[in-house]
């Protein structure tokens, strides 16, 4: 009985420690983002000393913060985003817009389609909407996407690229993943973007763009899912040039000028209508 009581205490303490660790991680990342904004530049060495943690942990923090568009990594540290790249949408608008985009994307998927879902919050937003689809075959390079697909009522046939794990994008990348993809052909690719350069195509903070290009090669329709506030956002790394893209799905806040430019390139443009207002009225 004494041992059972001890185990119960250890279990409760363990759960408490896990919760504290998660909170501490979130607080540290928030503090790093604030520090970079205030000072413009920080070094890994300085952050390691300030937060009494390892270089590996700090580099992971910086990678996640860069993915979230809160800073840019540089050799030995990080710098704040240039003003033209810093976009701060209203709170709540982003999630509503992503859901609208996800609905429009899911409507383009037919039963028994073979699709690729790239890693990313916008693309993963449509996964709960795929439960009514039958006979899907889904390839992904994201563990979180794979886990969400496993929860669907009509669970699709799931394929994983494998490859080298990239903590920056939280996905598999590299030559192994590219070789696996080239062994198949797909009806559709659903891919997000950190930005859309109206002259060049999709752009990204990540320097690893090879896998996205192979995904586009093996899909008959390449569908980019992106919020309108990222269109016109110029980021150095070109991911997919316009000639590799067939369809772009965004929200209905896209300007008329941007719509005309995109359509002039022969792209099928879908501006998903906002459902947030009608949902609130109900």
For 97-156, what is each residue's pLDDT tens digit? Answer: 888 999 999 999 999 999 999 988 889 889 889 988 999 999 999 888 888 888 887 889
* Stretch among 43-52, 100-109, 197-206, 265-274 having the lowest mean pLDDT: 197-206
Which among 49, 50, 76, 52 is positioned nearest to 62, based on CA atoms? 76
Could you give all domains of the chain from N- to C-terminal order, each with its CATH number? 2-79 (1.10.10.10), 93-281 (3.40.50.1360)
pLDDT score, position 188: 97
* pLDDT average, residue stretch 153-167: 87
pLDDT digits (tens, 9 = 90+) for 12-61: 444 444 444 555 777 888 889 889 888 889 999 999 999 999 998 898 88
Please tell me the pTM assigned to this model: 0.66
* Percentage of the residues of the chain whose pLDDT score is greater than 70: 83
Mean pLDDT, the chain, whole residue set: 83
């Amino acid at each position: 009985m004494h041992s059972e009581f001890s185990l119960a205490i250890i279990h409760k303490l363990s759960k408490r420690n896990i919760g504290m660790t998660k909170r501490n991680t979130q607080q540290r990342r928030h503090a790093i983002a604030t520090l970079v904004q205030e000072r413009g530049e920080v070094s890994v060495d300085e952050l390691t000393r300030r937060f009494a943690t390892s270089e590996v942990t700090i580099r992971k923090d910086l990678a996640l913060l860069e993915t979230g568009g809160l800073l840019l990594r540089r050799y030995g540290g990080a710098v704040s985003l240039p003003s033209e790249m810093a976009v701060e949408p209203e709170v709540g608008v982003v999630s509503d817009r992503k859901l609208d985009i996800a609905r429009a994307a899911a409507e383009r998927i037919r039963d028994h389609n073979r699709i690729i879902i790239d890693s990313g919050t916008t693309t993963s937003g449509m996964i709960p909407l795929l439960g009514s689809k039958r006979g899907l075959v889904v390839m992904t390079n994201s563990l979180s996407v794979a886990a969400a697909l496993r929860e669907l009522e009509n669970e699709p046939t799931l394929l994983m690229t494998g490859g080298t794990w990239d903590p920056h994008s939280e996905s598999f990348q590299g030559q192994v993943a590219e070789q696996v993809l080239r062994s198949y052909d797909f009806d559709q690719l659903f891919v997000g973007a950190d930005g859309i350069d109206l002259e060049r195509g999709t752009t990204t903070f990540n320097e690893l763009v090879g896998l996205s290009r192979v995904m586009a090669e093996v899909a008959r329709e390449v569908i980019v899912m992106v919020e309108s506030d990222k269109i016109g956002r110029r980021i150095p790394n070109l991911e997919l040039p316009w000639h590799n893209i067939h369809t772009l799905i965004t929200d209905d806040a896209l300007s008329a000028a941007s719509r005309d430019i995109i359509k002039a390139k022969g792209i099928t443009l879908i501006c998903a209508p906002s459902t947030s207002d009608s949902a609130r009225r109900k």
